[in-house]
Amino acid sequence: MRTLNVNLAERGYPIHIGCQIMQDSRLFAPYLAGQSVAVVTNETVAPLYLSTLCDTLAELRIRPLKIILPDGESHKNWQTLQSIFDALLAGRYERNSTLIALGGGVIGDMGGFAAACYQRGMPFIQIPTTLLAQVDSSVGGKTAINHPLGKNMIGAFYQPGMVLADTNTLATLPERELSAGLAEVIKYGLIRDIRFLDWLEKHLPDLQLRNEAVLEEAIWQSCRHKAEIVAADERETGERALLNLGHTFGHAIETGLGYGVWLHGEAVAVGTVMAARLSRMLGFLSEDDVLRVKNLFVAAGLPVRGPGRGRKMPADRYLSLMRHDKKTLAGKLRLVLLKRLGEAFVHADPDEEMIMEAIRICCEPG
């Protein structure tokens, strides 16, 4: 097991990364002072890992409340969130109870948001079971649900007490989900670490084959970058915004097609290609740089061409949805672009016609 820390003074917490560490009750003991624990998971993850977690908690004489939600991004809404509150209230759970989120990004977001709201805040633990959640969404305290007009528009910053990334859970992850997680791994190399990007180009085949040592290294490096950024800018007033490379374009795809049609990582991959294309149009990247970005995502098994008119997503539809993005300031779009590979920046109020042209190019067939 390897451990690193998110340094946020009294709200700091460890990230544990390793194989089968969900079975180590010693990791949980410091965070479960009370005997009242609720586990939020979904219908897919529960048959795979809920009993393992319950066996671990049993060693601490804890029998948790099990809250099993429907699976999928389409259920990341108020109605599903309300079902968590219903279960906690019916079970008479108190403010000092602990909520454990066991699942991917959707479960982590909803479990964390529920913990932030219930009795104005209860302790919670993240146990991410997908690659995307392990390298990104479980770290940093962003919690949210979706709205029909925009992804993750309603939520809170609320830090967990611990993140436990058990790489054993990736053995049951579908290929498509694994690839989706690689989109966020690639992001860290593109925004701040060219050497990590070089390493990824060499090891993407091993990552897709689920080589345990290579996966652990990729998760470690990704979490290291995320922890450093969050410690420096917890509430996204500066550097943390760079983590949104490709996300404004990608969220438009997810919202426009309907939540769950494309996976988040798939939309981010195409969104990052669009951001790279716009960076090229602005004179920052070369054509070879854009090709390198595309090739990375292709090697990871991800799409590099967006849904165009054939899926009712013309460029002006993208732009309309992007205007609802959380990074919009005073009505003006702010996009994360690439100054060079390994260095990102925030472009305030880019030209909308140029944005639409970059989108059109990235949606062309072939």
Catalytic residue from among 16, 151, 187, 264 = 264
Bridge-based pairing of strands 13-18 and 2-6 is antiparallel
Catalytic residue from among 177, 187, 244, 347 = 244
Catalytic residue from among 16, 187, 192, 251 = 251
Confirm whether 247 is a catalytic residue. Answer: yes
Catalytic residue from among 73, 177, 184, 217 = 184
Confirm whether 264 is a catalytic residue. Answer: yes
Confirm whether 77 is a catalytic residue. Answer: no
Confirm whether 244 is a catalytic residue. Answer: yes
Confirm whether 120 is a catalytic residue. Answer: yes
Contact yes or no for 214/203 (Cβ under 8 A): yes
Tens-of-pLDDT digits for all 366 residues of the chain? 999 999 998 899 999 999 999 999 999 999 996 779 999 999 999 999 999 999 999 999 999 999 999 999 999 999 999 999 999 999 999 999 999 999 999 999 999 999 999 999 999 999 999 999 999 999 999 999 999 988 999 999 999 999 999 999 999 999 999 999 999 999 999 999 999 999 999 999 999 999 999 999 999 999 999 999 999 999 888 899 999 999 999 999 999 999 999 999 999 999 999 999 999 999 999 999 999 999 999 999 999 999 976 667 889 999 999 988 767 766 788 999 999 999 999 998 889 999 999 999 999 876
Confirm whether 42 is a catalytic residue. Answer: no
Query: What H or E segment, with its residue span, contains residue 40?
Result: strand 37-42
- List pLDDT tens digits, range 56-105: 999 999 999 999 999 999 999 999 999 999 999 999 999 999 999 999 99
Residue written as tokens 């560490």?
21
Q: What contacts 67, CB < 8 A, 6 or more positions away?
A: 38, 39, 40, 41, 83, 84, 87, 88
